[in-house]
Amino acid sequence: AFEYLSKREECAAETEEGGVKNNTSTSLFLSIVCFGLGFSVKWTALFGLIAVLTLVAVSNIQTKRPLLSDSKTILAGLLVSAAIYIATYIPYMLSGEGHGLIDIHRLPLYIGYLAEYLTSGTISISPLDSLTVFDLQLRMFGYHASIEATHPYSSPWWSWPLMLKPLWMYSNTLLGGKVSTIVLMGNPALWWGSIPALILIGALFVRNTIKKVEHERNFVFLFILVPFLLQWLSYALISRI
């Protein structure tokens, strides 16, 4: 994505409609495909996609290009990402009857789930004899949207850059009194060092924006700040971590 955005100025004069040459569009396409790979593992990869799309939109506005000038490349990347996500469920779909992609006869049930979520913020999934791939997505979303339980190993999102409390993911007692654990904890030199660096970058960007200084590094600052803030602050909306 950075390669794509950094080359837009070089390609601005090469098309009449403000598009970008294929060789640079490929970088944007591949960045969205990488989102598809990440989303197939964990839904929080969506925050990274939002960051990329935000930067593309800002770049279009700054360079006075049509806001949707990259829509074909983005759509192509999203279609491939959807295909990758669905492909991860092929073994499940082949594992038994009723494990298809979606059952259109359950559409009224799905509409009921949507209405319940919009009114109460939770989803009560009805037990079914067989679950389609779409039903599995609803169950996963319903579980995380409705969960209220807490545990002592969680870590508040605001404390992550300071590494006040690492997130304890797994613990198991083994033979001989040994314990196996998995803890999420960053490198202190990188994480603590990034705090003053991010503050400095943010201050420089705000100063240049207020003074309307068109510095060549402004977009580089934005490229660092937007992904970081979107992939960090988004967790403020998640009640249990």
* Residue 4's pLDDT band (cuts 50, 70, 90): low
Closest CA to 124 of 135, 113, 109: 113
Tokens of 103: 């059952």
Identify the pLDDT of residue 96: 77
What is the three-state SS of 169-185? Answer: EEEEECHHHCEEEEEEC
Q: How do residues 11-61 score in pLDDT, each as one tens digit? A: 544 544 444 455 568 888 999 999 999 999 999 899 999 999 998 888 888
Residues ≥6 apart with Cβ < 8 Å to 173: 179, 180
pLDDT at 241 over 90: no
Q: What is the pLDDT of residue 114?
A: 85
Q: What is the pLDDT, as a whole number, of residue 11?
A: 56
130-155 burial: b if 16+ Cβ within 10 Å, else e:
ebbbbbeebeeebeeeeeeeeeeeeb
Percentage of the chain exceeding pLDDT 90: 24
Higher pLDDT, 18 or 163: 163
Q: What is the pTM of this model?
A: 0.76
Residues 216-240 have pLDDT tens digits of 778 888 889 999 999 898 888 776 6
User: Which residue, chain included where needed, has tokens 């593309």?
Assistant: 56
User: C-alpha distances in angstroms, 227 versus 49, 148, 215?
Assistant: 9, 28, 20
The reported pLDDT for the residue numbered 176 is: 84
